[in-house]
Structure 1
Amino acid sequence: MPKNNKNKKNNKKRFTVEEDQSIEEVLDQMKQEGYQPVRRVEEPVFKETKENGEKKVEPVGRKIVFDAVKSE
C-alpha cells in the first residue's frame, strides 16, 4: 500500500536573505509561513571585469539562502 505523500513541491521552499534584511528577520518570516530551516547555503556573488583585455572575476559579496520544509 503506498504512503500518503503530499505534494512534495509544496513542502519545500527557499528563502533568500536580501540586502536590507537580517538573518533573524528571514528566520521569523519562515516561522510565520509555517516552514522550518533544514539547510543554510552561502553562495558567492562575482563581478566580471576586463583589465588589459583579460576577463577577471572578482568576488563582491555573498548571498545567503535557506532551504526549508513545511512544519508538521
Structure 2
Amino acid sequence: MAKNKQTFYVEEEETVEECLARITAEGFMPVRRMEKPVFEERTINGEVQYVPVRQEISFEAKRK
C-alpha cells in the first residue's frame, strides 16, 4: 500500500514552483506549506550569536 501523505522539501537549487511541479508529477497535491529558519552559529566580538542564513521550505502533500 502506498503512502497517503508525504513531505517534500524545496532543494537547494530549486524554486518553489519547480518543487510544486515535482509534487504534482509524483501524483500528490500540496495541502500545507511550512517554513523554518536555519541558523548558523557565529562568534562576533567574542560573543556567540545565532544568525539566520536561509529559510527551509517544505510541503506536506496527500495523494490525489
TM-based fold match above 0.5:
yes
**Residues paired across the two proteins, number:** 64
Over aligned residues, Cα RMSD in angstroms?
Answer: 1.6
Misfit runs of 4+, over 4 Å: none
1:1-72 correspondence runs (5 A): 10-71=3-64
Letter in 2 for 1:48: E
Higher relative contact order (CA 8 A, sep 6+): 2
Letter in 2 for 1:59: P
State the identity as a percent.
44
Q: After superposition, what is the alpha-carbon deviation per residue over 1:40-69, rounded to whole angstroms, capped at 9, x for unaligned?
A: 011101001123443211111101100101
Question: Quick one: distance in 2 between partners of 1:51 and 1:23?
Answer: 33
Tell me the TM-score normalized by structure 1: 0.78
Which structure has the larger Rg over C-alpha atoms? 1
Q: After superposition, what is the alpha-carbon deviation per residue over 1:17-47, rounded to whole angstroms, capped at 9, x for unaligned?
A: 1121111111111111110000001110100
Unaligned runs of 5+ in 1: 1-5
